[in-house]
Amino acid sequence: MSIETRVKLFNRICAGVLIAFALLWLMPLLWALDTALKPNAETTRTTWLIDDPTLGAFSRTLRETDILRWFGSSLFIATLTAVGAVLTGSLAAYALSRLRFRHRNLVFWFVLAGIMIPGQVLIVPQFREMDSFGLLNTFWAVSLPQIPTAIAVFIFKQFFDGLPRELEEVARMDGAGFLRIYRRIIMPLARPAVAAVAIFTFVGSWNDLLWPLLVLSNPDIMTVPVGLATVQGSFGIRYADTMASAILGAIPLVAVFLLFQRNIVEGIAGTGLKG
Amino acid sequence: MTAETAVRTGRSAREDIPPERGRGAGLPAAGFLTPFLLLYVLFIIGPALYGLLMSFFDTSAVKPGLSSFAGLGNYAEALQSADFWSSLWHTIWFTILTTPPLIIVAFGLALLADRVKHGRWFFRLAFFAPYILPSAVVALIWIWLYTPGLGLLETGLGKLGITAPAWLGDPDWAMPSLALTTLWWTLGFNFVLYLAGLQEINRDLYEAASMDGASPWQQIRSITIPMLGRTTTLVAVLQVIASLKVFDQMYLMTSGGPNFATRSILQYVYDEGFTNFRIGYASAVSMLFFLVVLGVSAVWFALIRRQEKEV
């Protein structure tokens, strides 16, 4: 065999193995969908074939659970968190990147220290704090501790440091203030960083379980993960209904993923290159 | 101009801050920093210090204030508690079970995907889509897959002539089952990191190697694997830290059982603090856990330093 045919054969085998793994990885999601399309009684037969396909499980889930309300809670909390993280993070990063002031490095290191603290370590004191503020069972209790993320400041600062300064100098000479420069020049240029921070904060906030589980005990304002955690118990052996609720719970994030695939993948790849 | 700034301010030229912006920016800087710093101190640094303080007291969730001073009592109790050590061990056991496959499988699949010219979006979708799902969705789907008698895994393995274990119901198999679920769930993150690392490798290296008659396998061994050293360090450390922070999978899929065989350290904090109301003690356990994570991060920095010196 010539080298060329050997390489071609090798690439074929690679593609084959990869496709097999990809199908294996899609299997749980497809099986969940398959189960959700069966009537509950049919789910006890482990087969991909569906005798009597129905959307009944989905309509029952929508009727019997508060899943639409959970969507509302999650959407509000995740949006508030993402907007807050982008705004506070970019403002702070602008000062750290462009302004000269005393103890600038000290402030930067103080912020960086936050990256080392895993949020999970803080649940006990944060809970007591929210309790004493009277904020338990409010959206604020979930969102506020998630807004100041040191990593967002870090990402924005890296990005701002890489932007050319000429435009700002011209604007300065025309008498523009810092806030105007931040709003009109820096932020429009920083779209990729805004997208990365916004998407990651949004998804992280949407998916968080431990913290909302602690501070939201009122079923009326539960987030999607907290609500879904109660489904297993309430649906029991109604497997089609359980899978329908899992799929409904997955849909918003699958949509986010399909819309922002490029930003998400590049955002993760970015951490790798910085590493 | 940069050099001039550096001379005038006595700072390195790399800082590159134009002089006209240098004067009197203290007030605007405070304005820009305040929103972040206020929330940061209020919700991160403040609680961190308060947690440290509480760890030295017998603070209770049902009583106001810190209660009586305990000194290092909480720490001593944790270090002598069998429950503390077993939950710490479960967390470490989970980390041991998840980290190697999550690195090796992600690396292998990225390597394969890098050779495939068409349909990359499909592989990215297949491997990465699970990562973005909430843990609660993942748990519902995998509990169903693991269901005794009806689960797809048991039936599938049965067709291959393999008798499936009791998965989540067996104390010995519960943790490997959670690890398998986690492999499926989070592989995509490492896969994407490795794909990015692979794209950084100069294609000319492969061309030169194949001119010299190196087989694809030899190219992988002598070019790809060494060039991905930095990526692997990053993936490994991020993975270890993520695995140590495990909570959701156990809470949702086994509630720490059967017979506490899968209770993680974070669930121990949760149980002590929010079920037994011993928040002073729970804070001490949190601090001990924090030290473990800090230790891993320190090892990471040491590794990066060494790799940078080698380059």
In CATH, what number does B73-132+186-310 get?
A: 1.10.3720.10
| Gyration radius from chain A CA atoms | 24
Q: Best of A10, A25, A181 to disrupt the B interface by mutation (most B CBs within 10 Å)?
A: A25
pLDDT bracket for residue B130 (50, 70, 90)? very high
Q: Tell me, what's the pLDDT at B22?
A: 46
| Residue A31, in any domain of the structure | no
Q: Tell me, what's the pLDDT at B296?
A: 86
Rank A84-93, A187-196, B2-11 by mean pLDDT and report only the highest: A84-93
Q: Tell me, what's the pLDDT at B208?
A: 87
With CB atoms and an 8 Å threshold, state whether B126 touches A25: yes
More confident site: B288 or B234: B288
Q: Tell me, what's the pLDDT at B24?
A: 60
A/B interface, count of CB pairs below 8 Å: 297
Closest CA–CA distance from residue B196 to any residue of chain A (Å): 5
pLDDT bracket for residue A243 (50, 70, 90)? very high
| Residue A73, in any domain of the structure | yes
Task: Give me the mean pLDDT over the B49-75 stretch.
Answer: 91
| Residue A11, in any domain of the structure | no
- Structure confidence by residue, pLDDT tens digits, B178-200: 999 999 999 999 999 998 888 88
Q: Which of A27, A89, A253 sits opposite B132 (nearest CB)?
A: A253
Residue of chain B whose Cα is closest to the Cα of A100: B22
More confident site: B261 or A265: B261
Could you tell me if residue B59 is left (phi over 0), alpha (psi between -120 and 50 degrees) or otherwise beta?
Answer: beta
pLDDT bracket for residue B124 (50, 70, 90)? confident
More confident site: B216 or B196: B196
Domain count of the fold of chain A: 1
Q: Tell me, what's the pLDDT at A49?
A: 85
pLDDT bracket for residue B14 (50, 70, 90)? very low
Q: Tell me, what's the pLDDT at B311?
A: 60
- Per-residue pLDDT at B299 exceeds 90: no
With CB atoms and an 8 Å threshold, state whether A125 touches B33: no
| Residue A50, in any domain of the structure | no
Mean pLDDT of chain B: 87
| Gyration radius from chain B CA atoms | 25
Residue of chain A whose Cα is closest to the Cα of B213: A3
- With a pLDDT cut of 90, the percent of chain B lying above it is 54
| Residue A160, in any domain of the structure | yes
Tell me the residue range of the domain where A218 lies.
65-270
- Per-residue pLDDT at A212 exceeds 90: yes
ipTM: 0.90
- Structure confidence by residue, pLDDT tens digits, A33-81: 999 998 988 888 888 888 888 898 999 999 998 999 999 999 999 999 9
Q: Tell me, what's the pLDDT at A26?
A: 95
With CB atoms and an 8 Å threshold, state whether B18 touches A272: no
Q: Tell me, what's the pLDDT at A271?
A: 61
| Whole-number Å distance between alpha carbons of A224 and A72 | 9
Whether B266 contacts B283, CB under 8 Å = no
Q: Which CATH number do you get for residue A221?
A: 1.10.3720.10
- Structure confidence by residue, pLDDT tens digits, A221-231: 899 999 999 88
Closest CA–CA distance from residue B172 to any residue of chain A (Å): 23
- Burial (CB < 10 A; 0-12, 13-18, 19+), residue A162, is exposed
- pTM for this model (two decimals): 0.89
Q: Tell me, what's the pLDDT at B231?
A: 87
Q: Which of B32, B283, B289 sits opposite A91 (nearest CB)?
A: B32
With CB atoms and an 8 Å threshold, state whether A145 touches B44: yes
Alpha helices in A2-103 (DSSP H): 3-36, 56-64, 67-98
| Residue A128, in any domain of the structure | yes
Q: What is the DSSP string of chain B?
A: -HHHHHHHHTS-GGG---GGGTTT-HHHHHHHHHHHHHHHIIIIIHHHHHHHHHTTBT--TTSSS--SB-TTHHHHHHHH-HHHHHHHHHHHHHHHHHHHHHHHHHHHHHHHHHH--S-HHHHHHHHHGGGGS-HHHHHHHHHHHH-TTT-HHHHHHHHTT-----GGGSHHHHHHHHHHHHHHHHHHHHHHHHHHHHHTS-HHHHHHHHHTT--HHHHIIIIIHHHTHHHHHHHHHHHHHHHHT--HHHHHHTTT-STTTT--HHHHHHIIIIIS--HHHHHHHHHHHHHHHHHHHHHHHHHHHHHHHH-
Q: A191-207 vs A67-98: helix axis angle to the nearest 10?
A: 140
- Structure confidence by residue, pLDDT tens digits, A146-167: 999 998 999 999 899 988 888 8
- Per-residue pLDDT at B79 exceeds 80: yes
| Residue A39, in any domain of the structure | no
CA B117 to chain centroid, in Å, comes to 31
Which residue shows structure tokens 């482990």? A46
Mean pLDDT of chain A: 89
Whether A35 contacts A51, CB under 8 Å = no
With CB atoms and an 8 Å threshold, state whether B266 touches A210: yes
- With a pLDDT cut of 70, the percent of chain B lying above it is 92
Q: Tell me, what's the pLDDT at B218?
A: 85
Q: Tell me, what's the pLDDT at B109?
A: 94
Whether A178 contacts B26, CB under 8 Å = no
With CB atoms and an 8 Å threshold, state whether B132 touches A203: yes
Q: Which of A129, A147, A249 sits opposite B137 (nearest CB)?
A: A249
Instruction: Enter the DSSP assignment of A147.
Output: S
Q: Which of B32, B215, B290 sits opposite A92 (nearest CB)?
A: B32
Q: Tell me, what's the pLDDT at B95?
A: 95
| Residue A30, in any domain of the structure | no
Of A214-218, B15-19, B112-116, B226-230, least confident by mean pLDDT is B15-19
Q: A239-274 vs A224-235: helix axis angle to the nearest 10?
A: 150
Task: Give me the mean pLDDT over the B153-166 stretch.
Answer: 87
pLDDT bracket for residue B33 (50, 70, 90)? very high
Which residues of chain A lie closer than 8 angstroms to B36, CB-CB?
88-89, 91-92, 111, 148, 153
| Whole-number Å distance between alpha carbons of B132 and B137 | 10
With CB atoms and an 8 Å threshold, state whether B130 touches A22: no
Task: Give me the mean pLDDT over the B55-69 stretch.
Answer: 89
Residue of chain B whose Cα is closest to the Cα of A210: B248
- Per-residue pLDDT at B1 exceeds 50: no
Q: Which residue type does B116 have?
A: V
More confident site: A59 or B257: A59
Q: Tell me, what's the pLDDT at A261?
A: 84
Task: Give me the mean pLDDT over the B212-221 stretch.
Answer: 83
Residue A193, H or E segment: helix A191-207
- Per-residue pLDDT at B11 exceeds 60: no
Which residues of chain B lie closer than 8 angstroms to A179, CB-CB?
28, 31
pLDDT bracket for residue B248 (50, 70, 90)? very high
Q: Tell me, what's the pLDDT at B7?
A: 35
pLDDT bracket for residue A127 (50, 70, 90)? very high
Q: Best of A90, A100, A210 to disrupt the B interface by mutation (most B CBs within 10 Å)?
A: A100
Of A127-141, B122-136, B191-205, B240-254, least confident by mean pLDDT is B191-205
